[in-house]
Chains A and B, each alone.
Chain A
Amino acid sequence: MHLDHPHHGPAAVSADAHRPDGSRRALRIGLGGPVGSGKTATVAALCRALRDELSLAVVTNDIYTREDAEFLLREAVLPPERIAAVETGACPHTAIRDDISANLEAVEDLEDTVGPLDLILVESGGDNLTATFSKGLVDAQVFVIDVAGGDDIPRKGGPGVTTADLLVVNKTDLAPYVGSDLARMAADAKAQRAGLPVVLQSLRGGTGVADVAAWVRERLAAWTA
């Protein structure tokens, strides 16, 4: 028994930066946001952008199906053993914030089975504007909203929009068709976020993905420094 060993204390059960063997664990980045805003598509785009340079894995939190995990498998963005699905009992925000135990188990199992990993993306099930990730589960979080959900969302604020480490405003290519004012969304987001970054992204147009990937690389550099 090594009860006094720093990595066997209670901290080792969640947010400790080290694994039980003393090695540094993977950086964990959460992606949350409303239903249909493009979280899974953003995860897929990030995997394609980063998989050749990093050892990656993904945890999905589907609300009642395995659709998100299956989408990633179908798109073949990562080998199947690098994608794990967590079941959330009708409460996606509980699984990423109030009771993170199933997600912690999933990230640790991924590190055990396909590690060493540099980065684990934890995708929340689609939820409401108040859903944020616990700091015991992720090191940084991305909140994904889209222009079709209404251009007043940045102004309305809420924990996801105001506190996420990165805000992605997705589907900018749709703005003219849904009457959303992109400039207003960007200005409102800037006003709500006290200097935290915002990326305008269009996965169809191919814009913004490189900025999100660059932000992830910066986070990883800070994590491994």
Chain B
Amino acid sequence: MSRAALLVLADGRFPAGGHAHSGGAEAAVKAGRITSAAGLEDFCRGRLHTAGLVAGALAAAAVLGVPPGDLDAAADARTPSPALRGAARRLGRQLVRAARASWPSAELDALARDFPKGAHHPVVLGVTARAAGLAPVDAAYCALYESVSGPATATVRLLSLDPFEATGVLARLAPELDRAADTAVEAARWALDEGAGALPAASGPLLELGAEWHAGWPVRLFAS
């Protein structure tokens, strides 16, 4: 394996479409739930332990070899909002393109063929990490970090928040992210034996509701 591959995959400039998504931050900003760095930290903490944990466990399970089709169905079942399911599949489709160019593999080719409109992003992330020779915990870290880094950078643009403050939020969340990555991998190992149904199903209802609200706006900066 190459540990440096994790840096390539986790780089915010990895060209897989993430820059156009706010991870729910745009809706939360408009609703007045994020108005400052403190609000951003609360939002990110909530996202880390709900959508982030689920994404981390899905990605880790894909590295362990749980069938992507099972994981995709599990992701669908854990994402009530149609808008969020659509966004996750669009991001998955965009990631599979970048991943195939970066780490060509038969499994990624099969994923692109079986899901022409995209599999859920965390599932593609896990299959990508597997193709890159990374470990389950690496994939979990990647998914968890993306669950908070997306909203943080989006909030810098949406609120003109001081970028140093936003980065400080991410740094303060790091120890929690470490623990969440371990939890995600543990859950993924369960899923290897028990099936994808054993994966965590934590959810943030406001994220789901906010995504539906956001999808109906005629004017917005981010796609989700």
Contact = CB atoms under 8 A, between A and B. Distances in A.
Nearest to B154: A89
Contact of B19 (A1, A3, A10, A91): A91
B15 to A, nearest CB: 4
Contact of B222 (A13, A90, A98, A104): A90
B97 A63 contact: no
Q: In this complex, which of A10, A66, A88 has the most chain B Cβ atoms within 10 angstroms of its Cβ?
A: A10
B149 interface: no
Given A3-B106, A90-B157, A102-B20, A13 B93 contact: no
Q: In this complex, which of B18, B19, B104, B223 has the most chain A Cβ atoms within 10 angstroms of its Cβ?
A: B19
Interface string A105-120: 1000000000000000
B220 interface: yes
A219 to B, nearest CB: 25
Given A101-B16, A105-B90, A89 B100 contact: no
Contacts of B46: none
A8 B104 CA distance: 10
A101 B17 contact: yes
Q: In this complex, which of B21, B90, B100, B221 has the most chain A Cβ atoms within 10 angstroms of its Cβ?
A: B221
Contacts of B101: 10, 13-14
A196 B185 CA distance: 56
A175 B100 CA distance: 50
Interface in B142-198: 154, 157
Interface residues of B, number: 28
A130 interface: no
Nearest to A2: B109
A91 B157 CA distance: 10
A89 B19 contact: yes
Interface in A79-99: 87-91, 94-95, 98-99
Interface string A55-90: 000000001111000000000000000000001111
Contact of B94 (A9, A89, A101): A101
A136 B21 CA distance: 22
B219 interface: yes
A91 B20 CA distance: 8
B5 to A, nearest CB: 16
A63 B110 CA distance: 34
A91 B110 CA distance: 32
Contacts of B17: 99, 101-102
B100 A101 contact: no
A89 B222 CA distance: 4
B218 interface: yes
A8 B157 contact: no
A67 to B, nearest CB: 9
A210 interface: no
A8 B101 CA distance: 11
B9 to A, nearest CB: 14
Contact of B97 (A9, A14, A65, A95): A14
Given A99-B16, A101-B94, A10 B223 contact: no
Interface string B93-127: 11001101100101001100000000000000000
B221 A94 contact: no
24 contacts: A10-B100, A10-B101, A10-B104, A13-B97, A64-B219, A87-B222, A88-B20, A89-B19, A89-B20, A89-B22, A89-B222, A90-B157, A91-B20, A94-B19, A95-B19, A98-B13, A99-B13, A99-B15, A100-B15, A101-B15, A101-B16, A101-B94, A102-B17, A102-B223
The list of the 6 closest CB pairs from A to B, nearest first, reads A89-B20, A101-B94, A87-B223, A99-B15, A10-B101, A101-B17
Given A13-B97, A14-B97, 15 more contacts: A1-B106, A9-B104, A13-B100, A64-B221, A87-B220, A88-B20, A89-B22, A89-B223, A95-B19, A99-B16, A101-B15, A101-B16, A101-B98, A102-B17, A102-B223
